[in-house]
Amino acid sequence: MKSITIKGSERESVGKVATKALRNAGAVPCVLYGGDQPVHFSAETAAFKNLVYTPNAHTVVIDLASGKTFNAVLQDIQVHPVSDKILHIDFYQLFDNKEVTMEVPVRITGTSPGVLLGGVLRLNSRKLKVKALPANLPDFLDADITPLEMGNKIYVTELANDKYKILHPDNTVVCQVRISRAAMKAAQEAAKAEKGGPKKKK
């Protein structure tokens, strides 16, 4: 999985006053969990642009001014309900020998015969939770729609891989090709025309 570097500084004070001052200065207060003890740090809001405002999934290298570096994944983010300004971010530290859970985006590949015939492709799950060692985390979960006729579905079991575990029930639908209203209307009209056609002589 691709990685993004976040440059920041450790926070000496974590009180409400210090946190408010950080936000007023254009920085985001953060906490890194998963290690021996939480690491409190901050980074400029702009540093999170390619991590937060993207449909893609990334791991993170937290590079602190003190010289410390940590590999991590984004665990939780708080944003202002009106302005969408980032208020706080929690990260979880990665270790090479310890599995981690994160959401990975689904990527559609191929061309569906059902769609070519007028069906509508519906992506039910844009992201799926995956558990794996950091080295085995995929950038995407590819859903090949080439076999999908109209009315067919792809389930999470079809995206399975030995390198990671998908944390959803086997009957979870990833995507499906639904019959469009236009195609359904055309089929109904064709059926009516066939029924109303001339009767064969006995």
Residue 191 has pLDDT above 70, yes or no: no
The reported pLDDT for the residue numbered 103 is 93
Listed in order, strand segments (DSSP E) in 20-111 are 27-33, 39-44, 59-64, 69-79, 86-93, 100-109
The reported pLDDT for the residue numbered 13 is 77
The reported pLDDT for the residue numbered 31 is 95
Neighbouring-strand partners of residue 116: none
Q: How far is CA 80 from CA 23, 44, 77, 88, in A?
A: 12, 16, 10, 10
Q: In what order do the strands lie in the sheet with 127-132?
A: 141-144, 100-109, 127-132, 165-166
The reported pLDDT for the residue numbered 182 is 67
> Residue 52 — very low, low, confident or very high, per pLDDT cuts 50/70/90?
confident
Q: How far is CA 137 from CA 53, 107, 124, 153, 162, in A?
A: 20, 15, 22, 25, 11
The reported pLDDT for the residue numbered 184 is 66
The reported pLDDT for the residue numbered 19 is 87
> Residue 196 — very low, low, confident or very high, per pLDDT cuts 50/70/90?
low
The reported pLDDT for the residue numbered 41 is 95
Q: How does the average pLDDT of the chain come out, rounded?
A: 89
The reported pLDDT for the residue numbered 158 is 95
Residue 117 has pLDDT above 70, yes or no: yes
Q: Are 93 and 36 in contact (CB under 8 A)?
A: no
- Give the pLDDT mean for 39-61: 91
Per-residue pLDDT tens for 138-153?
999 999 999 999 999 9
The reported pLDDT for the residue numbered 165 is 96
Residue 198 has pLDDT above 70, yes or no: no
- Give the pLDDT mean for 19-40: 91
The reported pLDDT for the residue numbered 179 is 83
Residue 78 has pLDDT above 80, yes or no: yes
